[in-house]
């Protein structure tokens, strides 16, 4: 572990926040700045939770094919703020679901394709949210932009990164945190090249002025610069805190968990450990100066980002309360570190790793793994662990297994193909864990599916294959990284497709300065007609690599179910004091398989849980059964469930209005082929 401690660790309390919240509010993303999803509200209890019924619904009317709605609503003083699948901001009466106002950043124009958005920030007078590269500040009572915030009411997130703004795509799928008058936030960008650097930045919440930046790809003279090639700070991208941040307000420390550097699966152009990719960062919230860091994966080649911000917890050691952070991972592990120093609170083992395969590639000799707690996801995939659902499914999975190389769980990607297990959506996900300070239990939902990954040389490929196929597939039918483009000409028009390619969107890079206008036109023609109009090979730029992704998708059998044995998703209670797993259960089901008697398969799941002091664990998250559930937090016993209009791939919020406690969930669906929705559903006990 590399870490750095300044001469004086800043632990002074910060200035008071502008807004005073009541106990019945859900004032920030995840419930509190600690990201523990813990509440003391007790009107809904283990004894009466089975009586919950729908109190109100609000249909945004914004759902479209493939759309998602992963928002965790904010509720303060009886008012709810949230976003829709098309990223409109809405304000509702939290007791009735009645619309108060709506703000459309598209100004009535048809929105561009799907964008995953998980939360907003509400202060004493404003709502701060982003739409793609635009960071807005709205009047929280009217929805009108503040004209003195940034330029004409918004800040361009592409600015201040040291790259031409027209060449990069930057957004923020998760909200930041507010410390005094600072908005501190991470960002989302392309996972291919070209990509923006993942700087963590602090803006003045009133003016939008950039106050400080922390370079996650170090510049010359900065700590960690020697873990990259000399020019990486000018051309490399990613290493970004896309999942949000946590804040220790008393100590004045902001915590971030970063993702992998771009490009995800080939790193010959970024030889070295690549700090601060795949790292936990503790920064001085006032200045952005590093207090400590811990790198969980060196030179990531598998897209194994830290998927959620650290949970700020307190654990017991030798009868004493110790401030700590708990960091979940895509491999199903949990790192437990001292909050003030970054020292591990359980042993960490350095495990030898396979060496590089492709020319020019480099791999880290070892990777760190916590000895305790044990991982909640299986770590290997063998022939004996393939699906046995039906003989046909078993044969299909075996054929795929034999076509791809499975020799070591951490084999680097190659041109034969490997199976990542757990996959890039494996283990913990962006919803993050819930933590119960009463018991020391951390609750983590986990995915257990393999992903297929294969690289090819792009030298003789068409422009489409060289620039687009890695995300959308050589057959244009889509992959786990991008939607199908087979009918794009029917769903959109030439002008919009061209604009999308030029300017990028979400995780899609902007190509305007990388390929010529004629080449963009050729790609659009190919998407419209299937005719490859390009006769020239892609030119050489600093972003061209000798390999690209030809396959990146879920490992499935012939009927589209996971190719490994069940469970395909689990819900787990982890004792952070002892470093043990208290209980683990299959989580979710496929309705059509349940009709055949297969009820405990588990499914992939996205979104987090909330845990209550009086004994409940409440979570939706499962992709295909459209359920929200309440469990006994000590045993995992199911106490209540209700069906939603679409999957609740989001974290619920709970709050009190007029003396009544509500639970609200965004039912947006849309993950991995599931139907899309756009409804907020609130539950409460009967009067």
Q: Are residues 75 and 168 in the same domain?
A: yes
In a domain, 102, yes or no: yes
In a domain, 474, yes or no: yes
Please tell me the distance from the alpha carbon of residue 368 to that of residue 334, in angstroms, as a whole number: 12
CA neighbor of 624 nearest in space, from 591, 587, 585, 600:
591
* 8 A C-beta contact, residue 6 and residue 12: no
For residue 435, what pLDDT is reported? 98
What CATH number is given to the structural domain containing 659? 2.140.10.10
Taking the chain (687 residues) in runs of 10, the rounded mean pLDDT of each run is 31 38 88 95 98 98 92 98 96 98 85 80 96 95 97 94 88 96 95 89 98 98 98 94 97 98 92 98 98 98 96 95 98 98 98 95 97 96 96 96 90 94 92 97 96 79 70 78 80 75 64 56 76 50 72 91 97 98 98 96 97 98 98 98 98 98 97 94 97
Q: Are residues 432 and 477 in the same domain?
A: no
Please tell me the distance from the alpha carbon of residue 472 to that of residue 479, in angstroms, as a whole number: 5
Q: E strands within 357-422? A: 366-370, 418-420
Structural element, H or E, at residue 529: helix 517-529
* 8 A C-beta contact, residue 590 and residue 561: yes
Q: Are residues 616 and 506 in the same domain?
A: no
In a domain, 24, yes or no: no
Q: Residues with Cβ < 8 Å from 237, sequence gap 6 or more?
A: 168, 189, 190, 193, 194, 195, 196, 197, 198, 217, 261, 262
Q: Are residues 211 and 274 in the same domain?
A: yes
Q: Please state, in angstroms and as integers, the Cα–Cα distance from residue 424 to each residue in 51, 85, 429, 447, 548, following that order.
A: 38, 24, 10, 10, 17
For residue 456, what pLDDT is reported? 83
* 8 A C-beta contact, residue 552 and residue 451: yes
Q: Extract the tokens encoding 480.
A: 């786990």
Kindly list the strands in the beta sheet with 99-103, ordered across the sheet, starting from the edge strand earlier in the chain: 74-76, 79-83, 89-93, 99-103
In a domain, 427, yes or no: yes
Q: Are residues 61 and 205 in the same domain?
A: yes
Q: How far is CA 471 from the centre of its chain?
A: 17
In a domain, 166, yes or no: yes
Please tell me the distance from the alpha carbon of residue 213 to that of residue 216, in angstroms, as a whole number: 9
Domain total of the chain: 2
For residue 71, what pLDDT is reported? 97
> Three-state DSSP class for 418?
strand
Please tell me the distance from the alpha carbon of residue 216 to that of residue 77, in angstroms, as a whole number: 38
Structural element, H or E, at residue 263: none
Q: Extract the tokens encoding 641.
A: 């469930």
CB atoms within 10 A of CB 30: 28
For residue 507, what pLDDT is reported? 59
Q: Are residues 512 and 648 in the same domain?
A: no
In a domain, 410, yes or no: no
Q: Residues with Cβ < 8 Å from 409, sequence gap 6 or more?
A: 379, 380, 381, 421
What CATH number is given to the structural domain containing 522? 1.10.760.10
In a domain, 61, yes or no: yes
pTM reported for the whole predicted model = 0.89
Give φ, ψ of 51 to 5 degrees. -90, -5
Q: Are residues 523 and 666 in the same domain?
A: no
CB atoms within 10 A of CB 586: 17
Total residues belonging to the chain: 687
Cis peptide before 192 (omega within 30 of 0): no
Please tell me the distance from the alpha carbon of residue 135 to that of residue 158, in angstroms, as a whole number: 10
For residue 99, what pLDDT is reported? 98
CA neighbor of 555 nearest in space, from 672, 430, 445:
672
Q: Are residues 509 and 654 in the same domain?
A: no
Please tell me the distance from the alpha carbon of residue 578 to that of residue 556, in angstroms, as a whole number: 36
Q: Extract the tokens encoding 66.
A: 């493939």
Write down which residue in 495, 512, 544 finishes a domain.
Answer: 544
The domain containing residue 635 runs over which residues?
Answer: 38-379+421-449+566-684
In a domain, 44, yes or no: yes
Q: Extract the tokens encoding 270.
A: 């970024």
Please tell me the distance from the alpha carbon of residue 49 to that of residue 640, in angstroms, as a whole number: 6
Q: Extract the tokens encoding 472.
A: 């959308």
Q: Residues with Cβ < 8 Å from 226, sequence gap 6 or more?
A: 272
Quickly tell me which residue has 């996971």 as its tokens. Answer: 562
Q: Are residues 525 and 656 in the same domain?
A: no
Bridge partners of residue 391, in order along the sequence: none
* 8 A C-beta contact, residue 198 and residue 237: yes
CA neighbor of 462 nearest in space, from 510, 511, 517, 532:
532
SS3 sequence of 155-198: EECCCCCCCCHHHCCEECCCCCEEECCEEEECCEECCCCCCCEC
Helices (H) and strands (E) in the chain, counts: 8, 41
* 8 A C-beta contact, residue 372 and residue 348: no
For residue 111, what pLDDT is reported? 59
Give φ, ψ of 551 to 5 degrees. -135, 130
Quickly tell me which residue has 């909330």 as its tokens. Answer: 610
Q: Are residues 441 and 463 in the same domain?
A: no
Please tell me the distance from the alpha carbon of residue 51 to that of residue 42, in angstroms, as a whole number: 14
* 8 A C-beta contact, residue 275 and residue 198: no
Q: Are residues 244 and 130 in the same domain?
A: yes
Q: Please state, in angstroms and as integers, the Cα–Cα distance from residue 48 to each residue in 51, 128, 615, 627, following that order.
A: 6, 37, 12, 18
| Burial zone of 171 (CB within 10 Å; 0-12 exposed, 13-18 middle, 19+ buried) | buried
Q: Are residues 675 and 585 in the same domain?
A: yes
């Amino acid at each position: 572990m590399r870490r750095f401690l300044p001469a004086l660790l800043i632990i002074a309390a910060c200035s008071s926040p502008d807004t005073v919240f009541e106990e019945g509010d859900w004032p920030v993303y995840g419930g509190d700045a600690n990201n523990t999803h813990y509440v003391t509200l007790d009107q809904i209890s283990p004894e009466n939770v089975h009586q919950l019924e729908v109190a109100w619904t609000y249909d945004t009317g914004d759902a479209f094919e493939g759309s998602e709605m992963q928002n965790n609503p904010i509720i303060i003083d009886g008012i709810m703020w949230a976003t829709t699948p098309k990223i409109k901001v809405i304000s509702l009466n939290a007791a009735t679901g009645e619309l108060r106002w709506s703000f459309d950043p598209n100004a009535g124009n048809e929105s561009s394709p799907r964008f995953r958005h998980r939360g907003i920030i509400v202060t004493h007078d404003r709502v701060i949210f982003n739409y793609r590269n635009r960071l807005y500040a709205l009047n929280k009572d009217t929805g009108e932009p503040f004209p003195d915030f940034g330029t004409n009411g918004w800040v361009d997130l592409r600015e201040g990164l040291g790259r031409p703004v027209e060449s990069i795509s930057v957004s923020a799928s998760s909200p930041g945190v507010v410390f005094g008058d600072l908005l501190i936030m991470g960002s989302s960008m392309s996972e291919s090249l070209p990509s923006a650097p993942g700087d963590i930045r602090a803006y003045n919440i009133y003016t939008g002025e950039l106050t400080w930046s922390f370079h996650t790809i170090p510049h010359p003279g900065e700590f960690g610069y020697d873990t990259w090639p000399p020019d990486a700070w000018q051309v490399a991208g990613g290493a970004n805190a896309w999942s949000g941040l946590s804040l220790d307000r008393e100590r004045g420390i902001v915590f971030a968990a970063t993702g992998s550097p771009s490009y995800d699966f080939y790193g010959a152009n970024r030889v070295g450990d690549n700090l601060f990719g795949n790292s936990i960062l503790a920064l001085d919230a006032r200045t952005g100066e590093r207090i400590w860091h811990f790198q969980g994966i060196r030179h990531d080649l598998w897209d194994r980002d830290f998927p959620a911000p650290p949970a700020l917890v307190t654990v017991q050691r030798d009868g004493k309360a110790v401030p700590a952070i708990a960091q979940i991972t895509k491999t199903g592990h949990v790192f437990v570190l001292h909050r003030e120093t970054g020292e591990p609170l359980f042993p960490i083992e350095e495990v030898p790793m396979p060496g590089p395969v492709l020319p020019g590639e480099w791999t880290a000799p070892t990777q760190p793994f916590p000895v305790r707690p044990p991982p909640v996801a299986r770590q290997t995939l063998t022939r004996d662990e393939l699906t046995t659902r039906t003989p046909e499914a078993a044969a299909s999975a075996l054929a795929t297994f034999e076509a791809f190389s499975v020799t070591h769980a951490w084999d680097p990607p190659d041109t034969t193909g490997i199976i990542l297990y757990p996959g890039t959506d494996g283990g913990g996900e962006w919803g993050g864990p819930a933590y119960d300070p009463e018991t020391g239990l951390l609750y983590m939902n986990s995915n257990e599916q393999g992903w297929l990954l294969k690289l090819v040389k792009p030298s003789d490929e068409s422009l489409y294959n060289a620039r687009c196929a890695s995300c959308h597939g050589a057959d244009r039918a889509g992959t786990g990284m991008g939607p199908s483009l087979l009918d794009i000409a029917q769903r959109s028009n030439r002008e919009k497709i061209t604009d999308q390619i030029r300017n990028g969107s979400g995780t899609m890079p902007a190509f305007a300065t990388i390929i010529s206008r004629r080449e963009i036109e050729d790609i659009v023609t190919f998407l419209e007609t299937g005719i490859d109009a390009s006769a020239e090979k892609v030119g050489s730029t600093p972003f061209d690599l000798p390999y690209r992704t030809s396959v990146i998708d879920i490992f499935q059998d012939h009927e589209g179910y996971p190719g490994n044995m069940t469970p395909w998703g689990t819900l787990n209670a982890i004792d952070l004091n002892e470093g043990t797993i208290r209980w683990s259960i299959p989580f979710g089901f496929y309705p059509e398989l349940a009709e055949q008697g297969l009820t405990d398969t588990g499914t992939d799941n996205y979104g987090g849980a909330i845990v209550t002091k009086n004994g409940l664990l409440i979570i939706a998250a499962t992709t295909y059964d459209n359920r929200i559930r309440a469990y006994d937090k000590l045993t995992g016993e199911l106490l209540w469930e209700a069906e939603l209009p679409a999957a609740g791939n989001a974290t619920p919020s709970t709050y009190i209005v007029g003396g009544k406690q509500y639970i609200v969930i965004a039912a947006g669906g849309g993950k991995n082929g599931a139907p899309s929705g756009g409804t907020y559903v609130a539950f409460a006990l009967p009067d």
